[in-house]
Amino acid sequence: MTQPLVEIQNLRVEFPSSSGGYNQAVRGVSMSLGREKLGIVGESGSGKSVTGRALMRLLPEAARVKADKLVFDGVNVLSASERTMRGLRGGRIGLILQDPKYSLNPVMTIGAQIAEAWRAHNKGGKKEALEAALNLLEQVRIRDPRRVLDSYPHEVSGGMGQRVMIAMMLAPNPDMLIADEPTSALDASVQAEILRLIDDLVSARGMGLMLISHDLPLVARFCDRVAVMYAGQVMETLPAQDLHHAEHAYTRGLLDCMPHLSEKRARLPVLNRDPKWLEPRS
């Protein structure tokens, strides 16, 4: 087998707590990712985002990060220089977040921003960069790319803003995307379109994808494999198509807590947490 893009072994992340000690946010997570689609699910606070951010070394300085292995394509993220990390972030690894508003510059046209992202990682002048930006807007299936090129972020809809964000992340031609709840702020029909777009781009470009979401049915449909997180640990990793038949009680609990359209229930069940799930896993 060729070497995976990402190897994480026994990742631990702690944040200083108000009482002077440390809170453990990630407690011994191991996972690997090839050029495939890996979903990370789990309830709020289970450590999904912190795991993704640790890989990009995007955590606040106060965070303590330890791991037996935290490697992106041969680069040791624990010891790499800041310069190497800048090359990874927004270069070889693209990060798509829930709300593009926080990542786009409000006072710069969309075209100028994508062109800038392109020039940071490609050789070429302003004209080539704008052409590349136009081409990227076409790739993310924006209908009127020339108009959008000259628009400011507040002039486009949420779904279009997310497409712009994706175009910007694609500009450096990354090997991997981390999408952290990329569609949670969008309505259902736009959500499906954006996911289809990400899916097509990931397959066509042979990238690896880490899709962080608390939407289990969506991840089951969309990903190849799924890691299920609880309280900073991976409870189980399984093929996405098996998610609906998962046996782990926590995964079952999460599935049972998802509302179904086809089914009328007076109320959703509450997840009963087994204290054993908190014990360190081998």
Ligand X SMILES: Nc1ncnc2c1ncn2[C@@H]1O[C@H](COP(=O)(O)OP(=O)(O)OP(=O)(O)O)[C@@H](O)[C@H]1O
Q: What three-state secondary structure class fits 186?
A: coil
The two structure tokens encoding residue 34:
């090839």
* Residue 51 or 139 having the CB closest to Mg ion: 51
The amino acid at 102: Y
Contact between 174 and ligand X per CB under 6 A? no
Query: Checking DSSP bridges between strand 64-66 and strand 176-180, what pairing results, if any?
Result: unpaired
Query: Under DSSP, is residue 279 helix (H, G, I), strand (E, B) or coil?
Result: coil
Say whether residue 51 binds Mg ion (CB under 5 A): no
Site size toward ligand X, by CB under 6 A: 12
Question: Is residue 42 near ligand X by the rule CB under 6 A?
Answer: yes
Residue 31 binds ligand X, judged by CB under 6 A:
no
Classify residue 78 by its DSSP letter.
T
225: partner contacted, choices Mg ion, ligand X, none (Cβ within 5-8 A by kind): none
- Cβ count near 259 (within 10 Å): 7
Tokens 């062109």 found at: 115
Binding of residue 49 to Mg ion (CB under 5 A): yes
- Comparing CB distances to ligand X, the nearer of 17 and 122 is 17
Strands (E), the chain: 6-16, 22-33, 37-42, 64-66, 69-72, 75-76, 93-96, 176-180, 208-212, 225-230, 233-239
Least distance to ligand X, CB of residue 78, Å: 18
The only residue of 32, 46, 139, 162 in contact with ligand X, by rule CB under 6 A: 46
Task: Answer with the entry of Mg ion, ligand X, none that 47 interacts with (C-beta below 5 to 8 A by kind).
Answer: ligand X
User: Measured from the CB of residue 16, what is the shortest distance to ligand X in angstroms?
Assistant: 8
- Stretch binding Mg ion (CB under 5 A), from 43-51, 165-173, 217-225, 250-258: 43-51
One of 6, 8, 49, 70 touching ligand X (CB under 6 A) = 49
Q: Which residue is nearest to Mg ion (CB)?
A: 49
The window from 38-46, 87-95, 109-117, 162-170 that contacts ligand X (CB under 6 A) reads: 38-46
C-alpha to C-alpha distance for 158 and 162, rounded to whole angstroms: 6
With CA atoms as reference, report the closest residue to 121 among 160, 88, 163, 143: 88
The residue among 49 and 113 lying less far from Mg ion, judged by its C-beta, is: 49
Q: Contact between 178 and ligand X (CB under 6 A)?
A: no
The C-alpha atoms of residue 272 and residue 269 are separated, in whole angstroms, by 9
Residue numbers of the site for ligand X (CB under 6 A)?
A: 15, 25, 42, 44-50, 60, 214
